[in-house]
Structure 1
Amino acid sequence: MTPAAAIKAYAAAADAAMTKAPGTEKTAGMPDFGEMLGTAMTNVVEQGRAAEQTSVAALTGGTDPVNVVTAVAETELALETMVSIRDKVIAAYEEILRMPI
């Protein structure tokens, strides 16, 4: 077998594996993992901006300090959740790297 034929066979096998691999098809109505992470990151950023606006409003006398504390606490919780997710993804990646080939 020539190297070109081997490469072609490998590419065909890889394509077949990707189209037939379980879990590679998208479930109807479900976003993929990347979309979910992107949405979560966008929500964290939006909460941070809202907390910042609430803080500025409190400085000008436009809102209660209770609203500021609540907004900051919600943002802190969202950020801690994202850090936890990041840590889990990194741990899973490191576990995959340790797998024998």
Structure 2
Amino acid sequence: MAIPAAALNAYAQAARMGGSASTAGTGAAKEALGGGGFGDFLEKAIDSTVDASKASERQMAVSTAGNGGSNLIDVVTAVSEAETTLQTVMAVRDKVIAAYNDIIKMPI
């Protein structure tokens, strides 16, 4: 099964950010992540998800309006990329929630 380019880019970006943060100290990790932290990383991921969704909607609008330059393959590709991006964000959200629940259950 082929993995769309958007998912590969998201995984590569997460791996780069995760790798630099794990080898650096706390202050250096924030600098490696662009001066922010995990919250900034999540914000960027959500922004890219919204952008992919908007691009998909634009492709569908152009296709349904009948304007030349957009065919069914472009629409299906855009929708597939948006769906993959959304599924990736949902998987990360589920892992974060599971980690939070594990932390809450830890004895103090």
**Where on the TM-score scale, by shorter chain, does this alignment land: which range?**
0.7 to 0.9
Q: Compute the TM-score of the two structures, normalised by the length of structure 2.
A: 0.69
* Match in the other structure for 1:33: 38
> For 2:88 and 2:33, how far apart are their aligned partners in 1?
21
Counterpart of 2:43 in structure 1: which amino acid?
G
The correspondence for 1:54, drawn from 59, 63, 66, is 59
* Match in the other structure for 1:64: 71
> For 2:26 and 2:93, how far apart are their aligned partners in 1?
22
- Coordinate RMSD, CA, aligned: 1.6
Counterpart of 2:33 in structure 1: which amino acid?
M
1:35-94 deviations in whole A, cap 9, x for unaligned? 110000000001100100000000122310000000000000000000000000000000
* Match in the other structure for 1:82: 89
Query: Any stretches of 5+ residues in structure 1 without a counterpart?
Result: 1-22
Q: 8 Å contact 2:55–2:78 — kept in the other structure?
A: yes
Structure showing greater radius of gyration is 1
Task: After superposing the two structures, state which structure 1 stretch, 69-78 or 30-39, moved more.
Answer: 30-39
* Match in the other structure for 2:10: none
> For 1:26 and 1:92, how far apart are their aligned partners in 2?
24
Task: After superposing the two structures, state which structure 1 stretch, 81-90 or 28-37, moved more.
Answer: 28-37
User: Residue 98 in 1 paired to residue 105 in 2?
Assistant: yes
**Cα drift, residue 26 of structure 1:** 4.3
Of all paired residues, the percent bearing the same amino acid is: 39
In the TM superposition, structure 1's runs of 4+ consecutive aligned residues that sit over 6 Å from their partners are none
Q: 8 Å contact 2:33–2:41 — kept in the other structure?
A: no
Query: Any stretches of 5+ residues in structure 2 without a counterpart?
Result: 1-24
Task: After superposing the two structures, state which structure 1 stretch, 54-63 or 80-89, moved more.
Answer: 54-63
Figure out how many residues of one structure are paired with residues of the other and give that number: 80
